[in-house]
């Protein structure tokens, strides 16, 4: 609900500034939270039966066809973990990938939730546009994390089975 009424140009300017500043702050926050908050075993991050090991996302959204087109945000974040291409298949790196995919998923969900901030100063029809923008730019990233994580977990399980045999 709009409670702050600004002139049109100031509103547009504020939208651009906030879409630059708030994601930066959220990224900084998520990057500095301890890894223990991003366990792939937590309910929020765990793969559920209906996801069928990530295949539900491929069936519904054809994720294999377009996931390579998404940018890797770690490239612009100092100390970011690049998830676009795995080059190190060691157990420790796969575990790090799982944690970082959870971190990325949480960040993108938070970025989607940011749209409500604009409700304070933009009219309802513009707020709907902010929601669509947040969804369009972040939901594909969530889908890719939810698609990849079960596959990495299966790969880790296979490596552990081979190691114990």
Q: Parse the chain into domains and list their residue ranges.
A: 8-164
Distance (Å, whole) CA 98 – CA 155: 11
Q: What is the mean pLDDT of residues 108-129?
A: 91
Distance (Å, whole) CA 55 – CA 63: 9
Structure confidence at residue 39 (pLDDT): 95
Distance (Å, whole) CA 16 – CA 10: 10
Structure confidence at residue 4 (pLDDT): 79
Using alpha carbons only, give the angle 113, 78, 64 rounded to the nearest 5 degrees. Answer: 60
Q: What is the mean pLDDT of residues 67-95?
A: 85
Q: Is the pLDDT of residue 74 over 80?
A: no
Structure confidence at residue 148 (pLDDT): 95
Structure confidence at residue 131 (pLDDT): 94
Other Cβ atoms less than 10 A from the Cβ of 160: the count is 11
Q: Is the pLDDT of residue 78 over 80?
A: no
Distance of CA 121 to the CA centre of its chain: 26
Share of the chain above pLDDT 70, in %: 100
């Amino acid at each position: 609900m709009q409670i702050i009424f600004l002139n049109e140009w100031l509103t547009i300017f504020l939208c651009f500034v906030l879409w630059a500043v708030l994601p930066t702050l959220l990224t900084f926050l998520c990057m500095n939270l301890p890894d223990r908050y991003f366990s792939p075993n937590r309910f929020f991050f765990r793969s559920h039966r209906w996801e069928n090991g990530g295949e539900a996302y491929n069936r519904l959204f054809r994720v294999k066809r377009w996931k390579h087109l998404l940018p890797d945000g770690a490239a612009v974040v100092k100390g970011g973990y690049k998830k676009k291409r795995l080059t190190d298949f060691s157990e420790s790196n796969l575990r790090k990938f799982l944690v970082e995919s959870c971190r990325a998923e949480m960040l993108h969900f938070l970025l989607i939730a940011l749209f409500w901030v604009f409700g304070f100063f933009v009219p309802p029809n513009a707020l709907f546009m902010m929601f669509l923008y947040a969804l369009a730019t972040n939901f594909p990233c969530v889908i890719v994390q939810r698609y990849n994580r079960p596959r990495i977990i299966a790969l880790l399980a296979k490596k552990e089975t081979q190691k114990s045999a």
